[in-house]
Amino acid sequence: MSAYPNATATAATPSDDPACGAPLPVLGRDVTVPLVTGGEVGYAALDYAASAPALQRVWDDVAAYAPYYGSVHRGAGYLSQLSTDLFENSRRTVAAFLGCRPDDQVVFTRSTTDSLNLLAAALPARCEVFVFETEHHASLLPWRDARVSYLDAPRTPAAAVATLERALASRDPEAPALVCVTGASNVTGELWPVRELAAAAHRHGARIVLDAAQLVPHHAVDIAELDVDWIAFSGHKLYAPFGSGVLAGRADWLQDAEPYLAGGGASRTVARRADGGVEVEWHATAARHEAGSPNVIGVYAIASACKALEEAGFDALEARERSLVARLRAGLAEVPEVKVLSLFGDDAPRVGVLSFVVEGWNSSHFAAALSAEYGIGVRDGLFCAHPLVRTLLDGDPQEQGECGAPEAEPGTRSLNAIRVSFGAGTPEEHVERFVRAVRELVSDGARWSYRTEDGRCVPDRGGAAA
């Protein structure tokens, strides 16, 4: 089936729009927001680590396809056949983007969280899981039916490998084992030694899954080169926020497991038995774990984003991002009250994700002021990585705290942090404005009064700060 009419995607060359100021234009780049101090300003979206805006290229591709949408795999009509072709071609695009091996499967899910829960449901009997306490909750929590060894936060990449080696050396060598590790921290942005951890896992007969949610938007990722067994990521981190994710990797555990969801699409044949029950033959392909009508648009959006990033060139994108990270760190270093959070040290390579605290400020108050007074969107809280943030802030990793909730009134310290994150759609001006805003807030204070409402710090209706 040929491509649908009038929907040929344009090449993702660097933007020639001077107003964009970024290699890959994104939706929302021309949105303005009101300031509590009066007037409006262009919105600076610096919360890419939570959810990146859609690439303009992705939006255009989705809009071009939408009139031709049809049911996948089960329709005889032209649009159904066309949509099926688009869906399976998207699977091949993602496989190529990840450097998948010939026998690997690409399963489409809803998100990274969904992907890792799928893998958790497919673990063999007696499987032991090894995961660092530094992981995002999507990697930390799905393993409810397995024996789990939670590893302490390492302070260097070498310590991470050594810690894993010791833990694996003491495991039951006759039982299956799985290591789950992030590629880049969603809190500090620091890159983890994935290849070395994979080698350590395999030396001890364990498998490894890479949470690449924060890695694939910033770096080229090759599953074969890294020698990991599975990769999981979300479309909404990859400039394709349309509700799809990916689990890619080895097929055997997935083929041997019961379907993640039971229903149409996962079943190959269903027949009544003589005893009145039903006999089901499940698919052995990726369809086994893709029951129900698939999210064709979400899947196609991921494939479009993969193509756009590859065409723009990861070498150029990574070099620009390193420059922006360096400028950000240099600017924050000039403000003594700012403490940047780091697990591996200031010189550790990282993607465009950075968290910090400000002496004398409640983090939610600071983030609220950045938004209300400067039109800058960042994130505050514990970033769904509670044990890690507690450790980085010299708190108790076992202490409980609500993610994102200010734990003290504005102007007082709280045990949470502020995160700034960016990517290929971020203009340099947004980073410069952020650094300038941090400097002004620390030196001059907020110009407006704030209060806590429903667990969030918000501008006070009363007006300007006294």
Q: Where are the beta strands (DSSP E) in 236-393?
A: 245-249, 267-272, 278-282, 338-340, 353-358, 376-377, 379-381
* Angstrom distances, CA of residue 7 to CA of 46, 172, 294, 304: 31, 54, 21, 12
Amino acid at 133: E
Contacts of 141 (CB under 8 A, 6+ apart): none
Catalytic residue among 306, 384, 403, 457: 384
> Are 229 and 208 spatial neighbours (Cβ–Cβ below 8 Å)?
yes
What does the alpha-carbon distance between residue 59 and residue 77 come to, in Å, rounded to a whole number? Answer: 26
Amino acid at 262: A
User: What is the longest distance spanned by two Cα atoms in the chain?
Assistant: 81
Q: Around Cβ 148, how many Cβ atoms within 10 Å?
A: 17
What DSSP character marks residue 313?
A: -
Q: Around Cβ 204, how many Cβ atoms within 10 Å?
A: 17
What does the alpha-carbon distance between residue 279 and residue 227 come to, in Å, rounded to a whole number? Answer: 38
Annotated catalytic residue 384: yes
Task: Give the residue numbers marked as catalytic.
Answer: 384
